Amino acid sequence: MSEFVSFVRKYNKNAADHIQKMENIIGVYPNGAIVEGRKFLEVILNEVVKIEEVHHLKYSTLNEKIKYLIMEGYINRDIQRKLDNIRILGNHAAHPSKIDEEKEAFKIHKETYEVAIWYYWTYYPYDLKVPSYYAPEIKNDVNGHDDTDLNEETLKANETLLLKEIDRLKDSSKEAVVNPSEFNSFKDYLHVDRHVQRDLEYILESKRGSSGNLILLCGNVGDGKSHLLSYLKGKKPDLISTYEIYNDATESSAPDMDAMQTLSKYLSDFSDERIKNANTNIILAINMGILHNFANHQDEDYTYNEFKTFVNKSGLFNSKLNTNYRHDNFSAISFSDYHEFELNENGPTSQFYTELMNKICNESSNNPIHQAYMRDKEKGRNSLLHMNYDLLRNSEVQSKIVEIIIQTIVEKKIRISARTYLNFIADILLNESEYEDITKITNTIGLEKLELLLPNMLFERVERSQLLSMIKEFDPLNSRSKHLDEILIKLNTSNDLQEIIDEYITHPDLRDLFSSFFTGTTDLVGKSWDIFIKTFIRGIFLTNISDIFFKDNYYNSYMIDLYHYNKLENKGHIKKIYNDISNAIFQWNGSPKKDYIYFEKTSEKYKIAQKLSVTPEINHIEPMKGEQLIKFKPTILLAYRDEDKKKQEIYLDIDLSLYRLLSDVLNGYRPSKTDMDEAVNFVDFIEQLMEFGEKNKEILIHNIEGNQLFTLEEDVFNSIVFEKE
């Protein structure tokens, strides 16, 4: 029995029975589960009618009851929407319809929870522990068997076992639901240990047997807090059994309480008034913004000075790397300081994404996805989906995809959760809009199907997700290099395309596929030729272990610089970073001669410059230990001071976007107005840096037309001296 059912049973057994039935059948009979949700609603509204003594509604329809209760102010608009959803979908589920049954069943379950909590806060007079929301455990039948069998008998027409398994990776699948109460075998198989998990387990071990502990799991949406709690509750219950878990406790289930009041209710045992006698243990997964607001909130009932002092000392809101911090009753883990990839002197790698990819592709008997693939092969089932999975199993393809994921994180400053990553893998293997084409069992793949091949799915299905839209930017067709030009020239001029295919395509299946379209010379024209070209180039990009064709020098250089910046071990490398940026600064504004920098342009004929000498600082950099960096700053923060130390240090935070721009400037590029608008932080930095200059002692005037330099300075007699250099 789930915590939700147990909670409702304390105030209405009949309503709880319907929720229990809903949870028992939601995985195999979603329509029936939706109907049970509607029956639950009938019970709850009958209770409301009885309590509010609106007896004329006793035999009214659900719709009539909801309309009356909202008009008379018994129900607020937010709850009305949930009531209407349950009612309308319940009607659809009771009759043939085109609704997405499975998706809607889980949606209705969440809304029954919200209605149940609303009813409790509004009408129930006793103080009960309100459970956090967790979706129901997925069951294969009403007896609760896990859905892990590769059942041939359940296959529909034109369906394969591999298709069923890949579907489980998608956001819309039952498996995507995070349920800390249960951890089924498929989620267990896909689980990959992370450093944040190990640190949390260490804290829990150190607190084992004690009480009065509050552990904050701090982060942002999508960083894996829910999954981590799900894993611990399912796999290591002895560590977490004494803890109450409040997951994403940022919204109130009570209509008259806001987020701050809800948090105060949850954390009241750790208020100044009650903390000395605290005997509960709590894990609170909380958004950083909400935590910041609560740390500055003045509560009406309690004070939280000890808690606020802990938060301030923890470093959660400053730039220091402090992934976990403990003091007395309190512990905090900041997900923001953990990364999905690591840094080494050769660039970034990702144990996390690599292991997840390996879980999907390895040939282990424990891998249900590969086992489904093998069973299909034995039965002669072959489709584009199987070919795409074959391509994904290639080690070079896997490495390249992981590289693209890391680069997307760095370029776009996003986090890609395990859930998002798995959905992405499903998207590049299978696209729902071409469902029949890609899953059709066939022994041949025609040219018209090339667009459904993995290399094209990776770069052309931008409508599928925001992540795929971002990845489009790294399409090798967008690259400009002499190596790519050479390949294109060969493709368009050669009389023997088979020779080019053999030279560049290393994956045997992909090579055979391309070869099948030709008999020595090309007979493809127009759109067919364009499709072949783009698939060929993307195929090289994904399967060729060498980066020579599509190497992104700026990105590679930035990641190596980022490693040495965080290590702070090779001072020569750090010095080079500072020197390059200093040179870029002078070239950004322009310089008439060494150590002089122009002010903003004053006229077409003359420019004014000042001498500028700045000293780099490295005291702010925290050196990270290890050859493989797990904890590190994601950007390069440089500090400068004036030579006389009379002014405050100034800082320049360099992300990959700014690094690219400054690298172009070093190579002679003149920044445009658009560049300056986009690099507004850098422009502000230069304005601050110009205050370190010697304009009060001397300025340099540059006559552009005559290429002449004049100095204007004050001598020892306080006289202004103007002379030509």
pLDDT tens across 10-51, in order? 899 999 999 998 888 887 778 888 889 999 999 999 998 888
Tell me how far apart the alpha carbons of residues 624 and 323 are, in angstroms, rounded to a whole number: 13
pLDDT of residue 225: 81
Vertex 251: Cα angle to 248 and 252 (nearest 5): 125
For residue 225, count CB atoms less than 10 angstroms from its CB and return exposed for 0-12, middle for 13-18, buried for 19 or more: buried
Identify whether the C-beta of residue 344 lies closer than 8 Å to the C-beta of residue 626.
no
Tell me how far apart the alpha carbons of residues 160 and 382 are, in angstroms, rounded to a whole number: 9
Identify whether the C-beta of residue 123 lies closer than 8 Å to the C-beta of residue 14.
no
Identify whether the C-beta of residue 651 lies closer than 8 Å to the C-beta of residue 639.
yes
Identify whether the C-beta of residue 396 lies closer than 8 Å to the C-beta of residue 542.
yes
Displacement of CA 319 from its chain's centroid (Å): 20
SS3 at position 50: helix
Tell me how far apart the alpha carbons of residues 16 and 3 are, in angstroms, rounded to a whole number: 11
Identify whether the C-beta of residue 390 lies closer than 8 Å to the C-beta of residue 509.
yes
> Could you give the angle at which helices 656-666 and 680-690 cross, rounded to 10 degrees?
60
Tell me how far apart the alpha carbons of residues 447 and 513 are, in angstroms, rounded to a whole number: 10
Amino acid identity at 545: I
Site of tokens 């894990």: 283
Which neighbouring-strand residues pair with 640? Answer: 616, 650
Tell me how far apart the alpha carbons of residues 604 and 590 are, in angstroms, rounded to a whole number: 14
Tell me how far apart the alpha carbons of residues 156 and 231 are, in angstroms, rounded to a whole number: 33
pLDDT of residue 98: 46
- 195-337 CATH: 3.40.50
Token pair belonging to 273 = 């008034």
pLDDT of residue 187: 80
Q: Residue-wise over 653-667: b if at least 16 C-beta within 10 A, else e? A: ebbbebbbbbbebee
Site of tokens 């994180």: 409
Identify whether the C-beta of residue 636 lies closer than 8 Å to the C-beta of residue 659.
yes
What are the boundaries of each domain within the chain?
1-142, 195-337, 343-543, 558-724
SS3 at position 547: coil
Phi first, then psi, for residue 214 (nearest 5°) are: -120, 120
Which neighbouring-strand residues pair with 637? Answer: 653
**What is the secondary structure of 80-145 as a DSSP string?**
HHHHHHHHHHHHHHTS---S-HHHHHHHHHHHHHHHHHHHHHHH--S--PPPPP-PPPP-SSTT--
Token pair belonging to 250 = 């940022």
Token pair belonging to 653 = 């935070």
Low-confidence ranges of the chain (pLDDT < 70): 93-101, 137-158, 172-184, 221-222, 248-258, 319-323, 432-448, 518-524, 545-549, 601-602, 716
pLDDT of residue 445: 59
Tell me how far apart the alpha carbons of residues 366 and 348 are, in angstroms, rounded to a whole number: 29
Tell me how far apart the alpha carbons of residues 693 and 440 are, in angstroms, rounded to a whole number: 70
Amino acid identity at 489: I
pLDDT of residue 705: 81
Q: Over the chain, what is the mean pLDDT? A: 84
Distances (CA, A) of 498 to 41, 42, 511: 67, 70, 9
Tell the CATH topology of 1-142.
Answer: Four Helix Bundle (Hemerythrin (Met), subunit A) (1.20.120)
Residue 493: CB atoms within 10 A of its CB come to 7
**Residue 558: closest CA among 653, 616, 666, 636:** 636
pLDDT of residue 106: 85
SS3 at position 610: strand
pLDDT of residue 446: 63
**Residue 431: closest CA among 408, 463, 399:** 463
Q: Residue-wise over 18-43: b if at least 16 C-beta within 10 A, else e? A: bbbbbbbbbbbbbbbbbbbbbbbbbb
Strand ranges (E), 220-345: 243-247, 281-287, 324-327, 330-334, 342-344
Question: Which residues, including other chains, have CB under 8 Å from residue 411's CB and lie 6 or more apart?
Answer: 470, 473, 555, 656, 657
SS3 at position 724: strand
For residue 339, count CB atoms less than 10 angstroms from its CB and return exposed for 0-12, middle for 13-18, buried for 19 or more: buried
Token pair belonging to 343 = 């840094």
C-alpha radius of gyration, the chain, whole number: 32
Identify whether the C-beta of residue 568 lies closer than 8 Å to the C-beta of residue 620.
no
